[in-house]
Structure 1
Amino acid sequence: MSQFFHYLSGFGNEFSSEDPRCPGPTPHLLSNCTPQTTPVCPYGLYAEQLSGSAFTCPRPTNKRSWLYRILPSVRHKPYTAMHCGNLTEKWDEVEPDPNQLRWMPFTIPKSSEKKVDFVTGLHTLCGAGDTKSRNGIGIHMFTCNTSMVDRCFNNSDGDFLIVPQQGEVLITTEFGKMMVEPNEICVIQQGMRFSVDVFGETRGYVLEVYGAHFELPDLGPIGANGLANPRDFLTPVAWYEDREVATGYTVINKYQGKLFSSQQVFSPFNVVAWHGNYTPYKYNLENFMVINCVAFDHADPSIFTVLTAKSTRPGVAMADFVIFPPRWGVADHTFRPPYYHRNCMSEFMGLIKGHYEAKEEGFQPGGGSLHSMMTPHGPDRDCFEKSSTAPLKPERVAEGTMAFMFESSFSMAVTKWGLETCQRLDKSYYQCWEPLRKHFDPNWRPSKQ
């Protein structure tokens, strides 16, 4: 699909796109005009700015795009409250649970029983913070079986990082279309309207951040190259539809954790051209350049960060999106799997495909796990025993696998749906560590070489 995209050569750079059905008499006639440069836009379009940052933000962090549309988005009926389903920001529905939690693959409803689209299929699993104060995150699952028809979604609370796990999704945005397949991710930033088409039973994960945008992590001593390269992020080419909807087009707005809907008589995807640096984008996880240990010791999982949403504290993220892709393990004198660990961060893990090396049996694609702040976790007994006795020779790790982690500095609360309603909680999860046995020998001495 790359022929339908612009390369996002750097976060913060300006881009422009025009639907080829309406070319200007000079290159980029549309995408270079603003209300300050001409009183009337070409083709009789309306100019509308979408701002993703305060107007006065420093230039490197100032985010905005100009949209040139057939009708402005302001033309709609008043918003009215609608049923939120299992989408929530109520973090006190149930008592806190510090235990290690694991979920079996989340059930996808059968289309023959119930039609469920992306919005009605959103289920909040855990989160923290507050949309009103613009500081927090939410972790959601989506399970759906039908496309959105004459309705779109708009998140006024924050950014959506979408991770498809089963089934590809065709996402139509005001900026153009994106086909996103498993092993790819996309980010729909705050305020951008989008609709999701699916092609059968579909499942995936969503990381939502309030009050910050995702960005590439700093590389520090790594230098200029490695991890996710800016050139591999793609943003869509302009595409519009000039379509009236006599029965009404529904715009769904997530605002302060609630859902609201309004009606209008035309498609919101009527943007003929756009320019700016505030866009949706997608990324193929296979393009991630792994940096790994080649001598001894164990690199922290932060070395696998694809995107980060920074907090106001230096070096501390509201949320990191981290992946564990196929790679070589070559370290000497080192226990190679993830070490036993207690952390001041919260760690939610998901699996797109394959078998995660630290828990090859119980952790399945389409499921998840949550290890809360300072709750111990690490490899199960089988992984420990196997890795402790395996010869230390170069080996491929995680071949055919893509696991990921949403890591956050927030102490996350699990929703009632996650603990009770979904009925996918694996209550025997703690038992994977029960067989760990004592190896201590006070008479041990290092062997002579």
Structure 2
Amino acid sequence: MRDYIRLSKIEGTASRQAHTDLPEGTYEREMSKEGFFGPAAHLYHQRPPTGWIDWEGPLRPRAFDLNKLNYRPNSPFEAATVLHNAHVKLRFWRASGKMERLARNGDGDELLFVHDGQGQLFCDFGRLDLRAGDYVMLPRGTMWRTEFDGDADLLMIEATNDSFHLPDKGMVGHHAIFDPAMLDTPVMDEAFRAQQTPQGKEEIWRIDIKRREALSTVTYPYNPLDAVGWKGDLTPVKINVEDFRPLMSHRYHLPPSAHTTFLAKRFVVCTFCPRPMEMDPAALKVPFFHNNDDFDEVLFYHRGDFFSRDNIDRGMITFHPCGFTHGPHPKALGGMFKPRKTATDEYAVMLDTRDALEVGALPEGIENHAYVNSWMPKKEAAE
């Protein structure tokens, strides 16, 4: 644990309680260490801290419309890499139908998020039904394939050379957000047994194994998903976002860290789900302006009304590199204390990385280069 200099002091006009009772006519900005876990300062500005009128340089906020990816590779290893660093890779796989080969990731655990579509996943451990909103965590080295009923879109997050864990939920207990008993595991049912190669029959099956970003292909004269049982405490798990019960506070806007779902050593995955709005009239009803000074922040928009964002639709992703202040778009500021709705209506996946992310080699037309202008006062914003 780092030994930070920690004290609490107030200078000038400020609120004594973060995210509530803002001095009239001010906008709160949080500057903190370790994401939302370390020491923090709250500064109160006369204007929105995102009121820029120009931006030059690589730290600009960016947005990508993944709906515009117009190819559907049969292999997950051919999915478009959107963002990556040495510790995580975020891909978007526009799948379709039945995989022709098995896949095995030797580079790290794989977290699949089903954005659209339904079908089945077959793996060493059995079979899982898949539908939109499912998270599926596949331990490193798991052999697997999917069969979708038509087209499907999946967000894929690789914990490179690492593993996914559940967060320590602290004083709210390990049953908060979702009870671990809600995690589904694969079953070796009749459908799983039916896809195995019968004894005495020969059929060619190939496995693509990814290790250090290179593929090796191993060929078998039978389907190697032929296990008849398993035991132990290592297995794929699945949970749907509709089963989440998010933490909430009626008098205080909780930071994104309260919605942590999975974590690895150098990044976290959070999930935003529908919840009641804060009821205290003095409490902020929108995300507070904050510096992301220790983490790059990525948001994938799955479904609903993304109340703090303007012109962002499902299937889009935003990327806010570490080093600048960001927060709600101007349209959302009118609902800072008087929300338009009594509850949020959004599902979104957030990836926060401790190490700088690089943008993948995406096709032309995927990035919305005008996204940085969306915070500008309307009279200054570019057309």
**CA deviation after TM superposition for structure 1 residue 218, in Å:** 0.7
Indicate the residue corresponding to 1:397 in structure 2.
344
2: distance between equivalents of 1:231 and 1:389?
A: 37
Indicate the residue corresponding to 2:227 in structure 1.
271
Checking the alignment, whether the CA contact within 8 Å between 1:128 and 1:410 is kept in structure 2 is: yes
Checking the alignment, whether the CA contact within 8 Å between 1:100 and 1:372 is kept in structure 2 is: yes
2: distance between equivalents of 1:123 and 1:273?
A: 35
- One-letter code of the match for 2:214? K
For 1:284, which of 236, 240, 245 is the aligned residue? Answer: 240
- SS in structure 1 opposite 2:373? helix
**1:355 aligned to 2:310?**
no
**1:137 aligned to 2:98?**
no
Alignment RMSD: 2.3
- SS in structure 1 opposite 2:204? strand
**1:337 aligned to 2:286?**
yes
In 2 relative to 1, CA 437–390 (structure 1 residues): closer, same or farther, beyond 3 Å? farther
Checking the alignment, whether the CA contact within 8 Å between 2:165 and 2:263 is kept in structure 1 is: yes
1: distance between equivalents of 2:173 and 2:230?
A: 34
- SS in structure 1 opposite 2:312? coil
Checking the alignment, whether the CA contact within 8 Å between 2:117 and 2:132 is kept in structure 1 is: yes
> 1:193-208 alignment to 2 at 5 Å?
193-208=143-158
Indicate the residue corresponding to 2:39 in structure 1.
none
- SS in structure 2 opposite 1:286? helix
Indicate the residue corresponding to 1:328 in structure 2.
276
Cα deviations by residue, 1:166-194 (Å, 9 ceiling, x for unpaired): 11141110111111211111011100000
What is the count of residue pairs matched by the alignment? 316
Indicate the residue corresponding to 1:371 in structure 2.
320
Checking the alignment, whether the CA contact within 8 Å between 1:116 and 1:146 is kept in structure 2 is: no
1: distance between equivalents of 2:227 and 2:249?
A: 47
Cα deviations by residue, 1:206-248 (Å, 9 ceiling, x for unpaired): 1110233212111112235411210100101224413478563
Gaps of 5+ in 1: 1-95, 130-135, 312-317, 439-449
- SS in structure 2 opposite 1:363? coil
Indicate the residue corresponding to 2:372 in structure 1.
430
**1:302 aligned to 2:261?**
no
Alignment TM-score, normalising by the size of structure 1: 0.66
Gaps of 5+ in 2: 1-56
**CA deviation after TM superposition for structure 1 residue 416, in Å:** 2.2
Indicate the residue corresponding to 1:21 in structure 2.
none
- SS in structure 1 opposite 2:74? coil
Cα deviations by residue, 1:330-366 (Å, 9 ceiling, x for unpaired): 242122111122211111111111121111x421111
1: distance between equivalents of 2:308 and 2:255?
A: 15
Moved more, 215-224 or 172-181: 215-224
Checking the alignment, whether the CA contact within 8 Å between 1:189 and 1:280 is kept in structure 2 is: yes
1: distance between equivalents of 2:202 and 2:70?
A: 30
For 2:68, which of 104, 107, 110 is the aligned residue? Answer: 107
For 2:135, which of 155, 172, 185 is the aligned residue? Answer: 185
For 1:148, which of 80, 99, 122 is the aligned residue? Answer: 99
2: distance between equivalents of 1:172 and 1:181?
A: 14
Alignment TM-score, normalising by the size of structure 2: 0.77
Checking the alignment, whether the CA contact within 8 Å between 2:203 and 2:223 is kept in structure 1 is: no
Indicate the residue corresponding to 1:42 in structure 2.
none
**1:228 aligned to 2:178?**
yes
Moved more, 196-205 or 185-194: 196-205
**1:122 aligned to 2:79?**
yes
**Rg comparison, structure with higher value:** 1
Runs of 4+ off more than 6 Å: none
For 1:209, which of 133, 145, 159 is the aligned residue? Answer: 159
**CA deviation after TM superposition for structure 1 residue 292, in Å:** 1.3
**1:408 aligned to 2:369?**
no
In 2 relative to 1, CA 348–245 (structure 1 residues): closer, same or farther, beyond 3 Å? farther
**CA deviation after TM superposition for structure 1 residue 324, in Å:** 1.0
- SS in structure 2 opposite 1:302? helix
**CA deviation after TM superposition for structure 1 residue 155, in Å:** 0.3
Checking the alignment, whether the CA contact within 8 Å between 2:168 and 2:174 is kept in structure 1 is: no
Indicate the residue corresponding to 2:207 in structure 1.
251
- SS in structure 2 opposite 1:330? coil
2: distance between equivalents of 1:390 and 1:117?
A: 47
Checking the alignment, whether the CA contact within 8 Å between 1:294 and 1:329 is kept in structure 2 is: yes
- SS in structure 2 opposite 1:426? coil
2: distance between equivalents of 1:295 and 1:375?
A: 28
2: distance between equivalents of 1:334 and 1:345?
A: 26
- SS in structure 2 opposite 1:390? coil
**CA deviation after TM superposition for structure 1 residue 319, in Å:** 2.1
- SS in structure 2 opposite 1:368? strand
Checking the alignment, whether the CA contact within 8 Å between 1:228 and 1:306 is kept in structure 2 is: no
In 2 relative to 1, CA 295–119 (structure 1 residues): closer, same or farther, beyond 3 Å? closer
Checking the alignment, whether the CA contact within 8 Å between 1:102 and 1:369 is kept in structure 2 is: yes
Cα deviations by residue, 1:3-58 (Å, 9 ceiling, x for unpaired): xxxxxxxxxxxxxxxxxxxxxxxxxxxxxxxxxxxxxxxxxxxxxxxxxxxxxxxx
Checking the alignment, whether the CA contact within 8 Å between 1:108 and 1:202 is kept in structure 2 is: no
